[in-house]
Structures are given as structure tokens and as C-alpha cells.
Amino acid sequence: MDIFTIEHIALATGIILLLIGIWGMLTQKNIIKIIVSFTLFDTGIHVVMVAISYIKGKTAPIIGESVTKENAIDKIVDPVPHALVLTAIVIGLGVTALMLVYALNMYKHKKSLDITNFKELKW
């Protein structure tokens, strides 16, 4: 069938992983669990972006012995989403570290990790 190729399976995995991350962010009460769900959401988006760039039967975009300069154009996968995902992974780590620092300060303020105790900004 046409739906059982590697890029379809990877695309489906990435989409369901990001849906699990969104659902975790909206229903959990513990602050650390919300940050873990954010990490899953981030990973899901990266899998979707790399899965879209796959071309059937081609190989990695590095010029070596089997992929030479002349026939590179019909032997490699698309290299542009790889460059974008590389930057996004490092920035995801930076945002996670920053969120954890703020979670630590919130815990020092009220001695509890439950997000229903922090209601000062609700109207």
C-alpha cells in the first residue's frame, strides 16, 4: 500500500507525539510535568520537519566517494530542513533551561509545585 513507507510512518509518529505534548501541557497540574510535555512537543515538531525532507532511496547530503560533485543532485535528500532543525534543537534546550529556573523561583515563593496555587494573574 502507498502509506507504508518510511516517511509516512515518521510523519505519523511526529504528529501523534506533538498531539501528546499539547494534551500534556493542557491537563497536567505539576509544573515539572508541564515542562516535560513541552520537551515532547518540541521533539515532535523536529521529527515532522525532518520527515518531510526525505526523498525515496537517496542518501545523506555529504560529498564523499559515492556521491561526487557531479551526480550530487540526484543522490541526496533535501539539506535545507536539516540546517533549520539543527538550530532549533539547541534553542529548545535553552528555553527548557530557562523555564526550569523560573519553576525553581516559583517553588521558593510558595513552597508548592501545583499550578492551581498561582492564581494572581487570573481574572
Site residues for another protein, 92-111, by CB under 8 A, read 93-98, 100-105, 107-108, 111
Handedness of CA 76, 80, 83, 88 (dihedral sign): negative
Among 66, 90, 116, 123, binds another protein (CB under 8 A): 90
Closer CB to another protein, 72 or 118, in the complex: 72
Report whether 60 contacts 82 (CB < 8 A). no
**Interaction with another protein in 5-64: which residues (CB under 8 A)?**
5-13, 15-24, 26-28, 30, 32-33, 35-37, 39-40, 43, 46-47, 50-56, 58-64
Q: Which helix (H) or strand (E) holds 121?
A: none
Tell me the sheet residues that pair with 114: 30
